Amino acid sequence: MLHQQNLSRNSWKTVKHLGVSGQRSAVSGQRSAVSGQRSAKINPA
């Protein structure tokens, strides 16, 4: 029983960590998209 609890706790930590890293990657993706739009405005293809 103790082992099971520990496992679920670890998986919950992993889920939280994945969520945080996902948000970070989304933010960096938005930033890169914004910088891409800016460069497109400066140098129209």
pLDDT at 45: 64
**Encoding tokens for residue 41?**
């405005």
In the prediction, which pLDDT does 1 show? 53
| Mean pLDDT of each 10-residue bin along the chain, 45 residues long | 70 83 91 90 75
The predicted structure's pLDDT at residue 29: 92
Query: What pLDDT score does 3 carry?
Result: 63
The pLDDT score that the predictor gives to residue 30 is 93
For the whole prediction, is pTM greater than 0.85? Answer: no
